[in-house]
Structure 1
Amino acid sequence: MSTPLEARLDRIEAQTAVADLVHEYARAVRRDEPEKVASLFVPEGTFEVRSGHPDKAEFSVRSRFESPDALVAFLVTQKGGPHPIPLIHNLMVEVEGDRATANSMMAAPIYGTDKEVFGEYHDSFERRDGTWLFSRRIYTVFG
């Protein structure tokens, strides 16, 4: 039995909207526009940065922001300084109704330095009033 056309279209549109959201976040970071980040999250959304390894479950939490406003407050303190230029790779999106998850890799040269950061995102999303938003972002930096 095939999935109805309307359900397939909704899934495809959701996957595209989630992918656009991931890239919108990366663009805000790349352009050093942290004030745009909060609007990409649900009000109770969280962001966590971990240190880990690509093929091991162990990790340590480096920082955690319990709200989009807390994340933006931190990012604003870094504004104008060296910042990542996120390059998103291998974005995979799974949709189930009004919720979705995504996994992607990020390589990011740090503008203004000779450093680079590399790691993996595990994201969760919610569709609210027809708009997809981050509900949780976890970025694991590979050492």
Structure 2
Amino acid sequence: MTLEHLAARLEALESRAAIESLISGYANAFDLMDSELLLTLWHDDAILDLPGFGGGTSPEEILAMAQRNWQRMPHMHHWMSNPMISIDGGSATATVAADCLFHDVEQGPVQVSGLYHDRFERRGGQWRFTARRFELHFLTPLVNWKPVAGSEAFERT
């Protein structure tokens, strides 16, 4: 195995780890209402499209949309799984399965599931989202659902 081959393998592993961190960072930023983290995930010209929830065409617009949703859904829990990542030099695509539990102040608890379709680029040595689009599979109100234990408490209004 040549040094060039090892360097290419290391770059591929580092790129994949950086992209997986962006995917996890997205879930954590929304769930923890972490504005600073959310802003670090996007290139300046990035697009987020969440049909039914909003979107944006810059990190600032994405943050404004998130803040509106945090008012409407003060409890969010995202689970991202099965990332299918394809890296080609300084660009990458992915599909990521998502299951989300939200407490909507009007609807009460809802479960949302679907797929994220992602595009990433490495610019200036940094991987960031350039586009993220959600494909909704199910939005299910959880009628009469109420947690019986845990650190978060909420009530249906």
TM-score by length of 2: 0.75
Question: Is the Cα–Cα contact under 8 Å of residues 91 and 103 in structure 1 kept in the other structure?
Answer: yes
Report the CA distance shift for 1:114/1:77 in structure 2 as closer, same or farther (over 3 A). Answer: closer
Deviation at 1:50, TM superposition (A): 3.7
What corresponds to 1:101 in structure 2? 93
Q: Aligned equivalents of 2:46 and 2:135: distance in 1? A: 17
Q: Aligned equivalents of 1:63 and 1:74: distance in 2? A: 6
Which protein, 1 or 2, shows the higher relative CO under an 8 Å CA cutoff with sep ≥ 6?
1
Max Rg structure: 2
Deviation at 1:36, TM superposition (A): 2.8
What corresponds to 2:102 in structure 1? 110
1:10 aligns with 2:8: no
What corresponds to 2:68 in structure 1? 77
Report the CA distance shift for 1:79/1:50 in structure 2 as closer, same or farther (over 3 A). Answer: closer
Q: Aligned equivalents of 2:55 and 2:70: distance in 1? A: 19
1:92 aligned to 64, 67, 84, which one? 84
Kindly report which structure 2 residues correspond to 1:34-53, keeping only aligned pairs within 5 A, or say none.
Answer: 34-50=35-51
Alpha-carbon RMSD = 2.3
Q: Aligned equivalents of 2:133 and 2:118: distance in 1? A: 6
Q: Aligned equivalents of 2:17 and 2:89: distance in 1? A: 14
Q: Aligned equivalents of 1:38 and 1:65: distance in 2? A: 12
The unaligned stretches of length 5 or more in structure 1 are: 52-61
TM-score by length of 1: 0.82
Question: Is the Cα–Cα contact under 8 Å of residues 113 and 136 in structure 2 kept in the other structure?
Answer: yes
